[in-house]
Amino acid sequence: MGTITLKTRDGSVHEIEAREGVPIMELIRDAGIDELAAMCGGCLSCATCHVYIDHLPEGAELPGLGRDEDDLLDGSDWRRPESRLSCQIPFSSSLSRIALTIAPED
């Protein structure tokens, strides 16, 4: 268990309850945030769950950026160095208090 701090496109900030092992895309979706289309359901076939990692808790590490994820993010006009696909980051307690922003819609 833990929490995620999420900034949505309207600038509002949400504290989301997080569950171990669940991809962050699903945590955002299950919190009732409707801004993530997540059209492919998390199978790494699109880039509609794009987020920016604003802050990583001390000592925490994200899983590495995969080749497909890198390529899919390249299709976004809004890619930044801190871009990730949230379906590719399973939550773990070390990530508690990670801060994210939902990227603009492509």
Q: Is 49 in the site for other proteins (CB under 8 A)?
A: no
Q: Is 102 in the site for other proteins (CB under 8 A)?
A: no
Candidates 4, 6, 16, 47; binder of other proteins (CB under 8 A) is 47
Residue matched to tokens 């997080």: 18
Footprint (CB under 8 A) of other proteins, residues 52-71: 67-68, 71
- Helix (H) or strand (E) holding 67, with range, is helix 67-74
Token pair in block for residue 61: 């590490």
CA distance readout (Å), 96 to 19, 42, 56, 72, 92: 10, 21, 9, 26, 7
Candidates 39, 55, 93, 104; binder of other proteins (CB under 8 A) is 39
Give me the residues that bind other proteins (CB under 8 A), please.
26, 29-32, 34, 37, 39-41, 43-47, 67-68, 71-72, 74-75
